[in-house]
Structure 1
Amino acid sequence: MSSLPWVIRDDNGAVPHMWLSVFKDWLERLQVVFDKEWKLGFLHKEGWSDEASADGILAFKLAVQTGHVDHPVDMTQLPGNRLIDSDGNINARAFYVYLTAWAWNDPLAYGATAANLKPEPRIWIHTPEDKELKIPKSAPIKYAEISYLLRTTRDDNEEQDKEYQILAFVQEVRRITTAFEARGLPVFPWGIPFRFYEQYLNLPMNSAIVIGVAGGMTAVVLFFSLGLKVRPVGVVVSIATITLAQIAGAIGWLGVGINALPVEIALLGVSLVIFSTVQLVVAFCCIPGEVTTRRAIAFTVVGPPCVQSLVSSQLSPSSPCTPIYIQTIVLAHWNLH
């Protein structure tokens, strides 16, 4: 995630540290304090002297933790037990004990990371005067958040369309999360880009499936209803395809982005055209006589009702915009009061 060009960085070009990195830095600082005060003799296997600092005492208490509930403290681990090994890895056995200490003794850093750990770490506040070495162990983490701030304009191409940048970001994040989910780590991207824009990634494919299924079912029903005739079905499918191509071309020519509204307009337009075309084709196939006669009767009998239905379907949504309708609503509202 930190390598994505949309992530906001600080003046040094670095991204904000996630909670695990801040946790690790805190343990490394305590390890340095422990090593220093151990060499000075302030910390020893029997405990600590009065010269030991608060951080040194805290590091001592962490260093003797085993991570086992039955045997939580082992003084024989000193001084070889490390909070952080040479490779920078946190001691896995006592990880959740260290997490308890960090969350409640470095609250500013823990809160700044916005980790929102679930379940929350157990409460334990360090006091240097307390001789008790046992630290409660937190429950295993089931949920944690990593927050990133994003921008929609790259430095190298400020004029690139923001909507396509957001879609590219969502697609790239989904690729990363899918790779981690394949390794057994569930990841749930959350935020405005995913809530409002992720639907657009699958919108073309889902729309094509809907149109294909609707067109296919219409073709199958017509094929069996008209006595297994292929030509009428071909006429209906061809007209529907041409209509869809015209609507798609108009949407592209007008520069309208891909979203739910243009798709709904395309589906509505194709359905209206298919409705009228099916009426004419069925009438043509069911009327006896010559081709010219059948065509004339079909357009004469079915044509006017189809035109009337199309006009009515267009007038109904536009009726709320007429002055008479608005005046009627205002008067009705006035009479109610």
Structure 2
Amino acid sequence: MSKDEEELDPRETPEHPRHQYGLIGQGVAETKLLESYKSGRFHHAWLMCGPQGIGKATLAYRLARFILNHRDHLSSDVQNAVDLTVESDNGVAHRVAARAHSDLFVLQRELNRKTKKLRPAIAVDDARRLGGFFNMTAGEGGWRICIIDAADDLNASAANAILKILEEPPKNCLFLIISHAPGRLLPTIRSRCLRLDLAPLKGEEVAQVVSSGLQGHDLSADETAALIALGSGSPGKVMQLVTSQGARQFIRFQQAVSAPQGFSLSIRMTIAEEFQKRGAEIEFGIFADLLESWIGRQARQAAEQSDHAKANALALCHSAFSDSIARTNALNLDRRQTLMMAFADIEKILNQ
């Protein structure tokens, strides 16, 4: 990636996983990787699974730095290590951060030079470059490592190209494959990897991760707590939501439906009007995703409380809203009307 492309790439921020040297909340997964490497029976392909934004890529870069810095698993530095820490002033860390380590290949969606936007998928030509990378001798000896971030972005041809390498892996090659939805991957890819599940973080862990990133956003304590709750254990999701008008309006929705005076028509109209504005498509999508998840949670909660009538009504509301959003996006329908209909259904169910 050129300097110009780096400036256009929305992922290239100081918060990028390759610039992170700490890891919070994923100690179990980190220990499993470390102990496996120490043993000398290290699998050549790890499938790192879990929701987006919980630290999978951070852990992948953390492991890559450690192995590239400690090529001999029998060395005292490895055998005495308690975690995968490599300090930021280390030479390997510098090269990884600068995307200049000859033994590390990162496969991800590339920037379209014409549109100056990220391509919708990882293309087969990019995946095929891995063959040449793994066929070369390691520039610094030891392992050659590929991070795929994320496998969910592979198109069909790219996935098959990766599968061919996984089926006959070269010596001392390592795949660190990130997936937010592993069930959608080719079964043959999943079967050739050792799965490592990462769990969402606890609320206090999320708060610790995002504390510095939230500074300067002028959030009240209640707004910060609400954003962390919306993140569902994902610091990455919290940071995506912090500047989102869709998230702010959803917090307003939550406050309104739980208020003693109820979910008034004026508040419904104010929220819905926000997403009728020109250019509000992305924020509408964020709000719709949050609302759909909220309806689902309310349905589950009603079922757990044996309120079967309410649970069934909310389940039907969830299905109808999901279909309505799909139609609205596909046919460019009135977003305001879509939300007002959903709000009316929710208000009716809550007042039963």
Greater relative contact order (CA < 8 Å, ≥ 6 in sequence): 2
TM-score of the superposed pair, with normalisation by structure 2: 0.22
Structure (1 or 2) with the larger CA radius of gyration: 1
Higher strand share: 2
TM-score relative to the length of structure 1: 0.23
